[in-house]
Amino acid sequence: MQIRPEEILPIVEEAGKICFLDIEVTSKDGDYGSVLVACVKPFRRPVKSFVVRRPGDDESVLRAVRRELGQYLIWVSFYGKNFDIPFLNTRLWRYGLPPLERKHHIDMYWVVKSGTLTGRRSQAHLLEFLDSPIRKLTISPEVWNQVVKDRSGKALKILQKRCESDVRGLEVLYTRARKLIREITR
């Protein structure tokens, strides 16, 4: 079922039923990798972060994220239809848990790709182009490599900050590109 953005978005925004989501993972594939951090940011509300205690042990985070996402009518992501949601569902499947409920989903990557012509389509580039006060936090490859062996949790904290900056930036991108949203599908 298709819904008209200009009619439904003000309603779900006011009701607090739209959220922004992002994940940080150990690998691009859900069978070889696991979730490290997941962030859900309700519209105009603080970020909710879900962080593993140790890499590879993501079942409790998955349960919590599934429960959290179930509270919203619309999810907003950046390339989430092709990555974040399938990755989460792969990990849920691994543990014999039900997949995420099907919800209406706005993928800002596809909104921008189909409605504009920019030289690059990364979230970082788009936020810079829009002169956003929120920027994507860049981290070195070495931080990713440190996550597994860092017993202090410092690297995982850096990934949490990155994920939180991603959902904050995603909210800015959504707000600035809202009029480009032509359809909201599941």
Return the pLDDT at 171: 98
Return the pLDDT at 25: 96
Residue among 141, 143, 142 at smallest CA distance from 160: 143
Query: What does pTM read for this prediction?
Result: 0.95
Classify domain 5-179 by CATH number. 3.30.420.10
- Name the burial class of residue 131, with classes exposed (0-12), middle (13-18) and buried (19+) by CB atoms within 10 angstroms of its CB: exposed
Written as six digits, the tokens of 97 are 């848990």
Return the pLDDT at 147: 84
pLDDT, tens only, 41-83? 999 999 999 999 988 999 999 999 999 999 999 999 999 999 9
Written as six digits, the tokens of 151 are 């017993």
**Helices and strands of the chain, counted as H and E runs:** 7, 5
Return the pLDDT at 142: 87
Collect the ranges in the chain with pLDDT lower than 50: none
How are the residues of the chain apportioned to helix, strand and coil, as percentages rounded to the nearest 5?
45, 15, 40
Return the pLDDT at 2: 63
Sorted by where each begins, the domain ranges of the chain are 5-179
